[in-house]
């Protein structure tokens, strides 16, 4: 399909056109044309290539349409003497270009007729004219013209027309031709619009437009999306030898590039064609034309996104591009049988990046010449020649370059380089660009110049060379592999494993015969210099040590296959694309357009769009809908303009709120990321951009629907809004609803009656009654408390005047009525409190009350019963802007579920953790806005939707279902995190610590099909191996983190308590020792529930049995390179107490697996001491208590001896 004009956006080429086409002017009943020379003048196009020139030409198409029969007759009619029909035919069939040249050149029409007759007589035709250098006549030449007819062609005239002809001879390039050799004077249909991009030491790259009439694409290479811009790359050989070599191999090179494009892979840089042309002062310059990389290169991706927000989409996009690059390498290795030889972030080009897909499409660029040069250099070096510099960065070079094996410079070269690039991409994803730079600094080490990721060592005995990965690179790989987001069964984990075990591997594949045949990859073999440098495979390489290790570097095919497998996410864990464990505070913000649009349309009264805000000139010029808008102001500028510009005022306030110094010279950069503005490269949004529903926008999907100003709290519209959340969840999330079969009512509920009623009453539904009720999660705060007790119980059953209820409860009643639910459960009213009440019975039902409630109301903004939660909220600052008359808003960013809810006063209550976890759905009434949480994530009143991997655990309507499909490792980390959080919460009575989590713990035990008690889970022995399971031991390995205050033993009332091995016995924050998953042999310990105890009451029933060992030889501290730590629970005094007795005792729970001696393997243990007088003796077994936890190499631990009971 020919390319059409309408693709052109830039319209550079029409700069000189004053008229749209060859319009005839009607004069006195006959057709009259403007003078042809005038038309040719106005239709001329400008070529600015090569740089610094300005040449004019006519497009091929234009000449064809302009020089038609009418015009030819009209022009020739002006000549003296008559013209023949034959000459008209000749012009129309063979000489339109010649006619244009001659007519444009001289306005004398008599001369024109003579000139055309001359061409016809001498059989000079358009088809013979060309800008290409060829054997026959390809252009008008002075000698030829004067020789043929010296009366028509004076020397001067012939010379001038030969110069003039080029403007009609501009070539039409075609993608099916690999190379053109152009005449020095040929005018190319290019406009240079920039320089840069791929420009390197040995090439100059210009960004150009190619006139659409002058680029044909019979190969369909640009069928689907024709680029607006192209790159013309001029090769700049560093020396004469290299120049000679390049020119000699040029045609082959171009053909190879063309062949590669036959693959139609998305990740192969699209090649247009190549050309040469004589240069001033030299014989020939070589050029390549490619599509222009509109988003720069991989390095630019890093630079533009120094701290990318790690989302599963981002991981997927990155893996997709790596897969594409591997396929492109595989295809070119197989098809063209060449390697690239210089894969690095500067050579990986980036296309079509958008705020939604920041990576875009990556393509390997710079195929060909850079590689040739580099290899030639390597070969020269190995022939004993020295060059002054090594070219560019050597960081991505494989070890075979230095190992002296020229023959090994096979296609595996690229695989190693891809390994380095992949590693950098993973580092960028996980830690950001500063860490990529740190990695490069680390690799460089003490060297001043760039060094590769490997090092070469010479064996002392044999003198043989051996390559290995730099230890610092190994360290980075280890470090990454330890990140929870890079766990083994995640995409990132698999990518790291691929890099380590298959890509950054010194050993080459065994079938070297195939990969090493020089002719397979050496395209430039016609170069004599190059051929001489290649030695036969057997001549070198005798000094390479090859281990017997079966591990060898992947071929590009193996690499591509492995990436295909990584992309296949079937049968993978739910969080295969992104696993969060420790990185909990990362919230993902999403648009939720269908819900948002529906909600906006169902609300009857929305605040009217306000009049547009006042803007300064700078702000008026901002394009919030363009790609990657960024606003860069100084604080001084904003301060100066804020009086007259609402946006500058908002930006200034936002900066100050985010701790930017008010100093006038301080620069602040706001960057748009989808529907948010982020500041100074941080990942967290500081402003939201939103729009109303009725507006029509340029980029529909980019800016979210939203509400700039919140609805009035407690108003009918506000409750209608909350009802939208519930109805949407009811109708779209079956998993969020309790099944009607199990909707049992609690023992008592508050009957809230109908809107307007002055009374409510306490109601005891008949046992087993089913129905819909709401539960309230609220802070008790200071007293006196409004409660039901034995004295007012009867009265409450009769009626409670609404006005008597404290504000928090009254608001709960109003909300329940407005949300069309009849019954409300409030612990203070529905449980009979105090002496004679039923708290102990009802506390056990709490799990069911919260998990069966239709939804839960959380009074997050209240501090006590009297605060209420429907009061006014702070006004949200925003400005109203217009995009083509449609209003949109820049608003204060207030979507802070963590700050408003999770870190709220309410959520610091110990009891609330399980209320939150067990609730199916919760409406949180926070100070800045209202949130709704269900299994689908968190929805904000601003219409933003947000989610967070760890919070999803507590937000799960079917808690703890969400983690049941997770790996064992993730389950454990989540449980540990849950307990960690619980240990930071507050209690009115510390002895409630085991009770306030009982319901939740019971759900967890049931879901895990585990036994256990006091926060410890025991899954028993591993079914397959019959070995002790890890869950129990890992949950026992809690400790007090360094720097945290010593824990305090809780004083339990009689009949209650917790054993010393459980953190429930203490107040204080905890952490867990985390032995590597899958890497530990667990020791025998006997849990109390492994016997037949039905109830765990006495010391005897809660004791844990294990064998006690002594820690010895620690006096001098740990040996060099050893690891270890002892952490005491209670206090330093206790530590001394233990030491006084001469030794520290421990019970080992697990030992690191490994080939090494047990003495050097890490042992994990709890620290114990004799319980002494604290406890009565237990039959014949000695009683101990836990005082801490730790880990040490085995040689510091005596072999285990006496079995003791830890109580």
Residues near Zn ion (CB under 5 A) are 616, 619, 641, 645, 647-648, 729, 733, 736, 934-936
Q: How far is the CB of 357 from Zn ion (least distance, A)?
A: 28
Largest Cα span, the chain:
137
Q: How far is the CB of 920 from Zn ion (least distance, A)?
A: 8
Distance (Å, whole) CA 546 – CA 80: 90
Q: How far is the CB of 599 from Zn ion (least distance, A)?
A: 14
Q: How many CA atoms lie within 13 Å of 759's alpha carbon, on the beta-carbon side? A: 9
Nearer to Zn ion, 620 or 1153 (CB): 620
Q: How far is the CB of 631 from Zn ion (least distance, A)?
A: 9
Nearer to Zn ion, 392 or 935 (CB): 935
Nearer to Zn ion, 288 or 645 (CB): 645
Q: Residue 523 corresponds to which tokens in the numbers above? A: 């395209």
Distance (Å, whole) CA 905 – CA 903: 7
Helix extents (H) in 642-757: 646-657, 716-732
Distance (Å, whole) CA 663 – CA 352: 38
Residues 6+ apart with CB under 8 A from 308: 314, 358, 428, 429, 432, 683
Nearer to Zn ion, 595 or 1089 (CB): 595
Q: How far is the CB of 728 from Zn ion (least distance, A)?
A: 8
Q: How far is the CB of 643 from Zn ion (least distance, A)?
A: 10
Residues 6+ apart with CB under 8 A from 10: 193, 209, 228
Nearer to Zn ion, 465 or 631 (CB): 631
Question: Cα 119 from chain centroid?
Answer: 65
Q: CB neighbours (10 Å) of residue 96?
A: 20
Q: How far is the CB of 934 from Zn ion (least distance, A)?
A: 3
Cβ–Cβ under 8 Å, residues 802 and 810: yes
Distance (Å, whole) CA 508 – CA 515: 10
Nearer to Zn ion, 186 or 736 (CB): 736
Q: How far is the CB of 858 from Zn ion (least distance, A)?
A: 16
Q: How far is the CB of 924 from Zn ion (least distance, A)?
A: 14
Nearer to Zn ion, 183 or 878 (CB): 878
Question: What does the DSSP 8-state code read for residue 480?
Answer: H
Q: How far is the CB of 917 from Zn ion (least distance, A)?
A: 16
Nearer to Zn ion, 775 or 934 (CB): 934
Closest by CA position to 76, among listed 116, 31, 21: 116
Helix extents (H) in 336-432: 369-382, 412-431
Cβ–Cβ under 8 Å, residues 1103 and 1206: yes
Distance (Å, whole) CA 1083 – CA 414: 47
Nearer to Zn ion, 442 or 730 (CB): 730
Nearer to Zn ion, 10 or 734 (CB): 734
Nearer to Zn ion, 366 or 936 (CB): 936
H/E stretch holding 116 reads: helix 109-121
Distance (Å, whole) CA 868 – CA 813: 11
Q: How far is the CB of 187 from Zn ion (least distance, A)?
A: 47
Cβ–Cβ under 8 Å, residues 811 and 858: no
Q: How far is the CB of 647 from Zn ion (least distance, A)?
A: 5
Q: How far is the CB of 1111 from Zn ion (least distance, A)?
A: 52
Closest by CA position to 466, among listed 458, 475, 474: 458
Q: How far is the CB of 820 from Zn ion (least distance, A)?
A: 18
Nearer to Zn ion, 736 or 856 (CB): 736
- Helix, strand or coil, per DSSP, at residue 155: helix
Distance (Å, whole) CA 596 – CA 602: 10
The residues pairing with 933 across neighbouring beta strands, listed in sequence order, are 922, 938
Cβ–Cβ under 8 Å, residues 667 and 632: yes
- Bridge-based pairing of strands 832-833 and 788-789 is parallel
Q: Residue 772 corresponds to which tokens in the numbers above? A: 């819909």
Q: How far is the CB of 955 from Zn ion (least distance, A)?
A: 10
Distance (Å, whole) CA 612 – CA 687: 18
Distance (Å, whole) CA 422 – CA 428: 10
Nearer to Zn ion, 645 or 818 (CB): 645
Nearer to Zn ion, 593 or 1046 (CB): 593
Nearer to Zn ion, 340 or 737 (CB): 737
Residues 6+ apart with CB under 8 A from 351: 291, 293, 294, 295, 360, 361, 362, 363
Distance (Å, whole) CA 150 – CA 145: 7
């Amino acid at each position: 399909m020919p390319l059409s004009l309408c693709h052109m956006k830039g319209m550079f080429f029409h700069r000189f056109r004053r008229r749209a086409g060859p319009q005839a002017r009607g004069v006195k009943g006959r057709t009259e044309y403007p003078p042809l020379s005038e038309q040719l003048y106005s239709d001329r196009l400008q070529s600015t290539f090569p740089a610094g020139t300005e040449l004019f030409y006519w497009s091929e198409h234009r000449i064809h349409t302009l020089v038609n029969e009418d015009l030819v007759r009209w022009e020739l009619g002006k000549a003296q003497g008559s013209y023949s029909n034959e000459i008209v035919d000749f012009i129309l069939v063979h000489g339109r270009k010649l006619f244009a040249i001659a007519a444009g050149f001289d306005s004398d029409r008599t001369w024109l007729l003579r000139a055309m007759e001359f061409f016809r007589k001498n059989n000079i035709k358009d088809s013979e004219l060309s800008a290409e250098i060829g054997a026959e006549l390809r252009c008008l030449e002075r000698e030829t013209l004067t020789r043929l007819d010296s009366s028509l062609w004076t020397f001067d005239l012939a010379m001038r027309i030969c110069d003039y002809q080029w403007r009609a001879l501009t070539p039409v390039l075609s993608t099916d031709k690999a190379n053109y050799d152009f005449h020095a004077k040929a005018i190319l249909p290019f406009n240079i619009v920039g320089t840069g991009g791929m420009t390197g030491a040995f090439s100059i790259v210009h960004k150009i437009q190619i006139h659409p009439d002058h680029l044909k694409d019979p190969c369909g290479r640009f069928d689907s999306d024709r680029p607006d811009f192209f790159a013309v790359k001029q090769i700049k050989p560093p020396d004469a030898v290299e120049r000679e070599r390049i020119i000699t191999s040029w045609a082959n090179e171009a053909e190879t590039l063309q062949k590669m494009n036959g693959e139609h892979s998305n990740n192969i840089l699209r090649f247009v064609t190549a050309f040469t042309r004589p240069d001033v002062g030299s014989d020939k310059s070589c050029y390549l034309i490619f599509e222009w990389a509109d988003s720069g290169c991989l390095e630019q991706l890093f630079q533009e996104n120094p701290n990318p927000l790690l989302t599963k989409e981002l991981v997927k996009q990155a893996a997709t591009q790596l897969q594409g690059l591997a396929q492109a390498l595989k295809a070119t290795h197989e098809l063209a049988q060449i390697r690239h030889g210089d894969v690095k972030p500067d050579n990986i080009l980036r296309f079509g990046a958008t705020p939604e897909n920041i990576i875009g499409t990556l393509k390997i660029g710079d195929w060909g010449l850079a590689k040739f040069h580099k290899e030639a250099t390597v070969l020269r070096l190995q022939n004993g020649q020295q060059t002054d510099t090594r070219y560019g960065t050597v960081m991505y070079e494989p070890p075979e370059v230095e190992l002296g094996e020229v023959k090994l410079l096979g296609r595996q070269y690229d695989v190693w380089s891809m390994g380095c690039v992949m590693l950098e991409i993973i580092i960028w994803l996980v830690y950001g660009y500063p860490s990529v730079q740190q990695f490069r600094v680390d690799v460089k080490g003490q060297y001043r110049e760039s060094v590769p990721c490997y090092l070469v060592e010479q064996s002392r005995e044999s003198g043989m060379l051996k390559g290995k990965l730099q230890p610092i690179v190994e360290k980075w790989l280890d470090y990454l592999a330890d990140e929870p987001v890079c766990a083994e069964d995640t995409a990132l984990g698999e990518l790291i494993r691929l890099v380590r075990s298959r890509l950054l591997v010194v050993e080459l594949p065994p079938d070297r015969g195939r990969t090493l045949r020089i002719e397979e990859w050496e395209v430039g073999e016609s170069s004599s210099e190059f051929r001489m440098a290649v030695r036969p495979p057997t001549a070198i390489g005798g000094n390479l040590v090859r281990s017997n290790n079966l591990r060898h570097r992947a071929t590009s095919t193996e690499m591509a296959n492995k990436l295909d497998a990584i992309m296949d996410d079937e049968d993978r864990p739910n969080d295969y694309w992104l696993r969060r464990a420790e990185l909990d505070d990362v919230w993902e913000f999403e648009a939720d357009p269908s819900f948002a649009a529906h909600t906006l349309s169902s609300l009857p009264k929305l605040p009217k769009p306000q009049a547009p805000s006042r803007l300064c000139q700078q702000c008026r010029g901002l394009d919030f809908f363009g790609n990657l808008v960024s606003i860069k102001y100084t604080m001084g500028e904003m301060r100066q303009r804020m009086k007259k510009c609402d946006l500058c005022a908002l930006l200034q306030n936002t900066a100050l709120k985010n701790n930017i110094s008010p100093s006038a010279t301080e620069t602040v950069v706001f960057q748009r990321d989808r529907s948010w503005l982020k500041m100074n490269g941080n990942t967290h949004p500081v402003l939201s951009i939103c729009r109303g529903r009725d507006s029509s926008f340029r980029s529909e999907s980019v800016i979210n629907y939203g509400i700039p100003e919140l609805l009035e709290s407690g108003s009918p519209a506000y409750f209608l809004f909350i009802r939208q959340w519930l109805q949407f969840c009811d109708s779209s999330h079956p998993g969020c609803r309790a099944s009607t079969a199990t909707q049992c009512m609690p023992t008592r509920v508050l009957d809230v009656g109908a809107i307007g009623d002055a009374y409510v009453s306490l109601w005891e539904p008949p046992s087993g009654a089913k129905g819909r009720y709401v539960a309230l999660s609220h802070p008790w705060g200071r007293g006196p408390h409004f409660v039901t007790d034995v004295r007012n119980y009867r009265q409450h059953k009769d009626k409670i005047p609404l006005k008597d209820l404290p504000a928090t409860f009254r608001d709960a009643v109003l909300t329940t009525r407005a949300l069309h639910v009849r019954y409300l459960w409030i612990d203070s009213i529905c449980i009979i409190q105090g002496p004679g009440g039923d708290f102990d019975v009802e506390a056990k039902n709490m799990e069911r009350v919260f998990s069966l409630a239709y939804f839960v109301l959380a009074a997050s903004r209240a501090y006590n019963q009297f605060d209420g939660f429907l009061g006014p909220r702070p006004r949200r600052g925003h400005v109203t802007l217009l995009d083509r008359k449609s209003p949109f808003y820049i608003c204060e960013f207030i979507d802070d579920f963590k700050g408003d809810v999770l870190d709220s006063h309410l959520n610091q209550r110990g009891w609330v953790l399980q209320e939150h976890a067990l609730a199916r759905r919760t409406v949180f009434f926070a100070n800045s806005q209202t949130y709704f949480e269900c299994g689908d994530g968190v929805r904000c009143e601003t219409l933003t939707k947000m989610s967070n991997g760890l919070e999803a655990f507590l937000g799960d309507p079917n808690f703890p279902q969400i983690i049941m499909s997770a790996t064992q490792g993730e389950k454990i980390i989540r449980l540990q995190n849950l307990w960690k959080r619980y240990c930071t919460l507050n209690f009115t009575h510390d002895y409630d610590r085991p009770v306030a989590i009982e319901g939740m713990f019971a759900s967890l035990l049931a879901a895990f099909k585990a036994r256990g008690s006091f926060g410890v889970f025991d899954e028993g022995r591993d079914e397959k191996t019959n070995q002790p399971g890890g869950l129990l031991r890992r949950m026992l390995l809690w400790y007090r983190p360094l720097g945290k205050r010593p824990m305090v033993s809780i004083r339990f009332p009689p009949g209650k308590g917790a054993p010393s091995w459980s953190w429930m016995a203490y107040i204080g924050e905890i952490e867990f020792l985390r032995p590597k998953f899958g890497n530990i042999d667990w020791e025998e310990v006997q849990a109390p529930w492994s016997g037949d105890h039905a109830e765990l009451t006495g010391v005897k029933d809660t004791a844990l049995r294990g064998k006690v060992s002594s820690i010895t030889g620690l006096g001098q501290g740990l040996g060099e390179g050893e690891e270890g730590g002892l952490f005491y629970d209670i206090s330093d005094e206790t530590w001394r107490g233990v030491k006084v007795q001469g030794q520290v005792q421990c019970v080992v729970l697990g030992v690191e697996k490994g080939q090494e001696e047990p003495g050097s393997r890490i042992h994990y243990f709890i620290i114990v001491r004799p319980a002494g007088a604290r406890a009565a003796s237990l039959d014949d077994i000695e009683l101990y208590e836990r005082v801490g936890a730790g880990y040490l190499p085995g040689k510091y631990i005596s072999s285990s001896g006496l079995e003791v009971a830890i109580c």
